[in-house]
Amino acid sequence: MLVVVTILLRKASSPIARQVMSRSEVKVQGKLLPISLTSRHQLRTLAFTMGGREYLAVEQNAKKPSSWGQLAREGHQVVQFKEVETNRFVAVAVDGVVTIYGGRERGTTARLIR
């Protein structure tokens, strides 16, 4: 199951990330879903379900001192993907390049066709 979800997430993350950063609604598996803003920092977020699991795509906070925050400050489009059930970040998309966190996929990157 993890492999199937990983493949689905890898294929969908880049297009979802691009849409999160540029639109008010995102089409995921044929459903049009609204982009929300976090209350505190006004970061763009999208809740969606894929492979039977719930995820949250979150725009990277450019004010964070992390390397992802640094990339966002430099103007890169950075979107983190969190699995809702475990409350863990499972992937990140930076300018169309997706990195899946954890397990055998650690450090694996995939450039998806735009």
Cβ pair 58, 82 in contact under 8 A: yes
Q: pLDDT tens, position by position, for the chain (114 residues)?
A: 344 445 555 666 667 888 888 888 888 888 888 999 999 999 999 999 888 889 999 999 999 999 999 999 999 999 999 999 999 999 899 987 888 887 554 444 433 323
HEC assignment per residue over 6-30: HHHHHHHHHHHHHHHHHCCEEEECC
**DSSP H or E run through 49:** strand 44-50
Q: Which domain holds residue 94?
A: 2-111
Total number of domains constituting the chain = 1
Task: Please give the model's pTM, rounded to 2 decimal places.
Answer: 0.77
